[in-house]
Structure 1
Amino acid sequence: MKKNVLLCTWLFLSALAGMACTDKQNRAVPVEVTMTKAKLFDKIKGGWAGQTIGCTYGGPTEFRYPGTMIQDYIPINWPDGYIKWYYENEPGLYDDVYMDLTFVDVFDRLGLDAPVDSFAVAFANAGYVLWHANQAARYNILNGIMPPESGHWKNNPHADDIDYQIEADYAGLMSPGMPNTASEISDKIGHIMNYGDGWYGGVYVGAMYTLAFVSDDIEYIVTEALKTIPQQSLYYQCINDVIQWYRQYPDDWKQTWLECEKKYSEDKACPEGIFVPFNIDATINSAYIVIGLLYGQGDFAKTMDIATRCGQDSDCNPASAAGILGTMLGYSHIPEYWMSNLKEVEDMDFAYTTISLNKAYKMSFDQALQVIERNGGKVEAESVTIKTQAPTAVRYEKSFEGLYPVEVVAYGRGQGKTLKEVGDLTFEGTGLILAGDVRAKDESYVAVIEAFVDDQLVETIKLPASYRVRRHELFWIYGLPKGKHTVSFKWLNPVEDADIRCSKTIIFSDAPRINQR
């Protein structure tokens, strides 16, 4: 009898614990959330401030630790005047921020219904230098391939890269408590430069920002925001695994990092990341954001430090993590240790813009008020009432399906080989990328080449010598019938003092090539 009573008591207490756990994981924010305008403004400021601080903190480590974590004994410094130094000496560090501000500025000038072409043209013609999916999209837009085709993987070998993920903060900051509204904004703008898992990076980051306005539970924010991502995607599976590993190893972020490396560290698409430790793929870098947020447990410094020490794009990842946490905490609750450096620059315009942090705070706040009203909320003299949204999944997309790199042919270090020296490219597979660039004394020069596959003209390509408007790769083609193919080129307008240099060829097939031993 006594054993039965004890057993029943144990079962009852276990059930209560299970219910509490389930409630924590599934509880929703209220249908309506009312807060003062001052609190809303404080949270928006916290998001921008956190992003800028995080970007600066991780700046010196960016891509210095590909495929490895930054060990605890390696110091990451925070001297006085640090942010101002970067503003004045290396302003390109803040591409995370001034890219966002391009879109914030278009909304400010043209309103919430600004067409996607306005964002695309502003982005493509901006004075800043770009890389990866952003640069591929810029080239596409300047050459008549507009969104969403500009970000589609068949037109953009970097479609799964991190680019929109680091730029989506604005969408969350202008959509407090409304993850689906942020997803709609990201559908339009995120497809300028990304597709599939690359797009999902921005959708997810934007959703976490929106929920940070209405919840102070990091695990809830991370888990609930994931509902915006289709479950069949690799991106969802990776982030979901990180959450489960966190629950399995709640005191050891390095174990979760290691599990993530074992399962998700392959980059099969970005030309710079194939067969090397470098990985700018959105999926793995989003995992590092989530590791920072979960194991940071609401502590600003700890969150930022862990997201940085995960490595790879280790300025962008702490920028996103600190921006999300900064939104949750609010500007007024970010420790002064970090804020003293920030306050020195709040009236200084970011490079390539006429927008300072103080201007960005106000612009995002004004846009958030408009979005709140448009989505059924209320804006009153001193307060706002937000109609919150239960997140729903965006549509499923997959880039580079059935495409696997099987061989890289490198053309030496440094100068590479000329297009003439490379000659015809004969290969066995289903696709190919030729990486390289045009070098000319006259930066206005644009080389024009014809590309032939199996003696059929497939593309006439303009290759600017200017780095700002360059084509990120010289040529690529996917989806060929599996078999032997030959790619050849004809340079239509060669001039003296100009070269088309080739760095490597990447060959793809419909299955990985496994070593047989």
Structure 2
Amino acid sequence: MGLTHGEHANGELPRAELADRVLGGWTGRIAGNMLGKPVEQGDHWTRERIDAYLRLTGALPLTDYLPPPPPGATGFELRPEWRQCVRGGIDGSCRDDDIDWSILGLRVLETYGFAFTTEQVGREWLLRMPYLQTFTAERAAYRNLANGLRPPLTATYDNPYQEWIGALIRADVHGWTSPGDPRRAASLARRDAVLSHTGNGVYGAMWAAALIASAFTAPDVRCALETSLERIPASCRLARTVRDTMALHEAGLDWSATLITQAERTAGLGWIHTVPNAAVLTAGLLYGEGDFSRTIALTVRGGLDTDSNGATAGSVAGVRCGAAAIPPQWSEPLRDRVRSAVFGFDGVGIRELAERTVRLAESA
């Protein structure tokens, strides 16, 4: 299968370790998503504003969910759902599309197997995902599906969001079910992504899936990043941005200087575009230095699409360390329960989702 950097196929991972890593991926994704959700508005919640809020609330260094806003604070308006995703208010995960898409991807694999088609992905969207719970490229593709268009036209017709982050946030399940096999993970993610995205939007999904698959077996996160880049065109802007971020880290720049540099290099793309978010995510993974809390905290503090980036960083970090090593302040408030807009899945247990994912990984 072309495995590199010492990676090996799933058959060499003991089942108990695989189960712990997959549960870590699900738990980390949900925790990272919840951490970033209150400040998900990248044009308002800049990196500087997020850190100002954390200083105001005495939450630096950030080692737990965001604190609630202090009475009378102005200029720090959180998203409307903030009460359900700040310290002391979390009682199970609140609904979010970043988690809905992982659940729907799991449903696609359970229903159609690993030979699923892009058309079948679209069918599951129409059957199980409410239209108003989709956004940007996914909403455009959903509308196109409902109007009778077929892939790849669903991605290109009247869709100005083709390179935004939506396909990347759908990719995790393809990594979780392809442990140690980034080539396969990227192939699965591509088949899903082309329903709604093109170019760097598709490459973002392939990169994220390969990164998560690599995280199971690579010796460190930098090796996982290097392996994931082998699965997308070396000359695409996404690959160049990830490599640039890795080079800045290796050159000894601190986290803040790296993000300032990359913000200048990706200026004008907008806060939901795949490329600048990949820089924030890559920096969070590298400067997180293998520590779960530090990884998701730095990623969310990096701004832009905070809940999506926090979710992907949490997935990678959770796979790396396993569920048992995730600090309890992240996992315990989730109560092993997921709110979801996906038909038939609201209230599902995180452990159940992980067990179903492991069964798929073992059947591959």
Query: What range describes the TM-score normalised by the shorter chain of this pair?
Result: 0.7 to 0.9
Q: Following TM superposition, by how much is the alpha carbon of 1:30 offset from its aligned partner in structure 2, in angstroms?
A: 4.6
* Match of residue 99 from structure 2: 97
What does 1:170-249 correspond to in 2, within 5 Å?
170-249=173-252
Q: Following TM superposition, by how much is the alpha carbon of 1:289 offset from its aligned partner in structure 2, in angstroms?
A: 0.8
Q: Distance in 2 between matches of 1:72 and 1:266?
A: 23
1:356-392 CA-to-partner distances (Å, cap 9, x unmatched) read: 2232112211111122xxxxxxxxxxxxxxxxxxxxx
Q: Distance in 2 between matches of 1:204 and 1:46?
A: 20
Provide closer, same or farther for how the CA distance between residues 124 and 354 of structure 1 changes in structure 2, counting only shifts above 3 A.
closer
Q: Verify the 8 A CA contact 2:122 2:195 in the aligned structure 1.
A: yes
The answer to whether residue 124 in structure 2 is matched with residue 145 in structure 1 is no
What does 1:68-87 correspond to in 2, within 5 Å?
68-70=46-48, 71-75=50-54, 76-77=66-67, 78-84=86-92, 87=94
Q: Verify the 8 A CA contact 1:242 1:290 in the aligned structure 2.
A: yes
| Ranges of 4+ aligned residues in structure 1 off by more than 4 Å | 30-33, 64-67
The answer to whether residue 315 in structure 2 is matched with residue 323 in structure 1 is yes
SS at match of 1:228: coil
Q: Following TM superposition, by how much is the alpha carbon of 1:223 offset from its aligned partner in structure 2, in angstroms?
A: 2.0
Q: Which of these residues, 156, 160, 173, is aligned with residue 159 of structure 2?
A: 156
Q: Following TM superposition, by how much is the alpha carbon of 1:165 offset from its aligned partner in structure 2, in angstroms?
A: 0.7
* Match of residue 29 from structure 1: 6
Provide structure 2 residue ranges, at least 5 long, that are not aligned to the other structure.
Answer: 55-65, 68-85
Give 1 or 2: higher helix fraction: 2
* Match of residue 424 from structure 1: none
Count of aligned pairs = 325
Provide structure 1 residue ranges, at least 5 long, that are not aligned to the other structure.
Answer: 1-26, 268-277, 372-517
What does 1:413-428 correspond to in 2, within 5 Å?
none
Report the RMSD for the aligned CA atoms in angstroms: 1.9
SS at match of 1:51: helix
Q: Which of these residues, 342, 345, 354, is aligned with residue 361 of structure 1?
A: 354
Q: Verify the 8 A CA contact 1:265 1:279 in the aligned structure 2.
A: no
Provide closer, same or farther for how the CA distance between residues 312 and 31 of structure 1 changes in structure 2, counting only shifts above 3 A.
closer
Q: Following TM superposition, by how much is the alpha carbon of 1:63 offset from its aligned partner in structure 2, in angstroms?
A: 1.1
1:56-80 CA-to-partner distances (Å, cap 9, x unmatched) read: 0111000155583145342232513
Q: Verify the 8 A CA contact 2:102 2:172 in the aligned structure 1.
A: yes
Q: Following TM superposition, by how much is the alpha carbon of 1:309 offset from its aligned partner in structure 2, in angstroms?
A: 1.2
* Match of residue 341 from structure 1: 333
Query: Which of these two proteins has the greater Rg computed from alpha carbons?
Result: 1
* Match of residue 61 from structure 1: 39
Q: Verify the 8 A CA contact 2:154 2:196 in the aligned structure 1.
A: yes
Identity %: 25
* Match of residue 26 from structure 2: 48
Q: Verify the 8 A CA contact 1:249 1:255 in the aligned structure 2.
A: no
Q: Verify the 8 A CA contact 1:304 1:321 in the aligned structure 2.
A: yes
Provide closer, same or farther for how the CA distance between residues 281 and 110 of structure 1 changes in structure 2, counting only shifts above 3 A.
same
1:238-294 CA-to-partner distances (Å, cap 9, x unmatched) read: 1111111111235x1110001101111222xxxxxxxxxx42100111111111100
* Match of residue 257 from structure 2: 255
Give 1 or 2: higher strand fraction: 1
TM-score (norm 2): 0.84
Q: Verify the 8 A CA contact 2:8 2:181 in the aligned structure 1.
A: no
SS at match of 2:13: strand
State the AA in 1 paired with 2:22.
I
The answer to whether residue 358 in structure 2 is matched with residue 370 in structure 1 is no
* Match of residue 120 from structure 2: 118
* Match of residue 303 from structure 2: 311
Q: Distance in 1 between matches of 2:359 and 2:353?
A: 10
